[in-house]
Amino acid sequence: MNIDLIAVGRMQRGPVADMFADYQRRLPWPLTVREIDIKKKMPAAARKQEEAERILAELKPHSYVIALDERGKHLTSVDLAGTIGRVRDDGIRTMSVIIGGADGLTDAVRSRADLCLCFGKLTWPHMLIRAMLAEQLYRAWSIDAGHPYHREG
């Protein structure tokens, strides 16, 4: 399975980027990052719409889409691993994961998603979410593979 991470903003060098890169290297699935960076200043609503158009344009037609959204489902790591395993077993070749901008995702992006997923009620920096996502993808693989990385307690 190929994973496309479609994320608003540019990752800068530093510890969070290093953490992301570490998990990206560990994953047996190719993880491609497609960054959407809008430099021009515009009102929040217009910026959100521009981000949405660019996010939707990046999606492959038959991709399984997960949108990270504060209104999304709260899954355990085991549940996420099961979802990814079912997607893979259904023969879907590409899974796209979307991380929106500071103002969130539009209804159009959320409605395109096969799964809206929430990483909790706390507010997280977008770059840290990238690292957390990469870790959860690695954890999902390890759960599916029966690897001892994940421990139920």
pLDDT digits (tens, 9 = 90+) for 106-141: 999 999 999 999 999 888 888 999 999 999 999 999
Residue 94 located in a structural domain:
yes
Residue 38 located in a structural domain:
yes
Q: How many domains does the chain have?
A: 1
Residue 151 located in a structural domain:
no
Closest CA to 129 of 1, 11, 4, 3: 11
Q: Which domain holds residue 26?
A: 2-145
Buried b (16+ CB within 10 A) or exposed e, 129-150: bbbbbbbbbbbbbbbbeeeeeb
Q: What is the pTM of this model?
A: 0.93
Residue 152 located in a structural domain:
no
CATH number, domain at 15? 3.40.1280.10
What's phi and psi for 33, nearest 5 deg? -105, 130
Residue 11 located in a structural domain:
yes
Residue 153 located in a structural domain:
no
pLDDT over 90 (residue 78): yes
Residue 67 located in a structural domain:
yes
What confidence score (pLDDT) does residue 147 get?
81
Residue 85 located in a structural domain:
yes
Q: What pairs with residue 21 in β-bridges?
A: none
What confidence score (pLDDT) does residue 152 get?
67
